[in-house]
Amino acid sequence: MKILWAPWRIKYILQEKPKGCIFCIKSKESKDEENLILYRAKYNFVMLNLYPYNNGHLLIAPYRHVPSIEQLNSDELKEMMLLAKACLLVLRDVMKPDGFNLGFNIGRVAGAGIEEHVHMHIVPRWNGDTNFMPVIGDTKVIPEALKDTYKKLRSRKDIIDNILKEM
């Protein structure tokens, strides 16, 4: 496997890892920029994935700690879907992707890294983003720092505000 230089990751690697649910911990803290939380709604919040598949990889999670969408109530689900709609609009406006993957990994066997707290993934996709680097070089390139992506997406929070008026 090829190694790409990513010096910003050493801070995470060396820091003490929190005990407990990362979504619950981060949602209760008031350090939104540090925690990459882009938006806080009434029932859910949106954050950048610390380990993105692609630039702009977002997570939408309810504040309530439940393992699957069938435990969410109608208001939580409705708001989550409106946030997904709004996030697509923000990502289209700021990053101009060619498409998206949206989904949930429910249960360890389905690929859930954090199976005790349900969350939706929104992954922007571009033509050629699955190119020779991951296939032949066994290397994935994320070309923009998370803080830079955060600032760009956060600058369009007005789009999310407007969509949530539909609640």
DSSP-assigned letters across all residues of the chain: ------TTHHHHHHSPPPSS-HHHHHHHSS-TTTTTEEEE-SSEEEEE-SS-SSTT-EEEEESS--SSGGGS-HHHHHHHHHHHHHHHHHHHHHH--SEEEEEE--SGGGT-SSTTS--EEEEEE-TTSSSHHHHTS------S-HHHHHHHHHTTHHHHHHHHTT-
Reported as a single tens digit per residue, the pLDDT across 117-150 is 999 999 999 987 765 555 545 555 666 788 999 9
Looking at residue 51, what is its pLDDT?
83
Question: Rounded to two decimals, what is the model's pTM?
Answer: 0.84
Q: What is the pLDDT of residue 136?
A: 47
> What pLDDT is recorded for position 52?
86
* pLDDT-derived band at 111, boundaries 50, 70, 90: confident
Q: Residue with structure tokens 């707290």?
A: 117
> What token pair was written down for 92?
């289209």
Tokens found for residue 24: 């619950």
Query: How distant, in Å, are the alpha carbons of 55, 98, 138, 143, 165 from that of 58?
Result: 9, 16, 23, 16, 21
Edge-to-edge strands, sheet with 99-104: 37-40, 44-48, 58-62, 120-125, 99-104
More confident of the two residues 81 and 50: 81
- Decide which of 37 and 50 is more confident: 37
Q: Is 65 a catalytic residue?
A: no
Q: What is the pLDDT of residue 112?
A: 77
Q: Which residues contact 7 (CB under 8 A, 6 or more apart)?
A: none
The active-site residue, picked from 57, 65, 117, 119, is 119
User: Which of 23-37, 74-88, 118-132 is least confident?
Assistant: 118-132
In CATH, 21-26+35-164 is 3.10.20.80: no
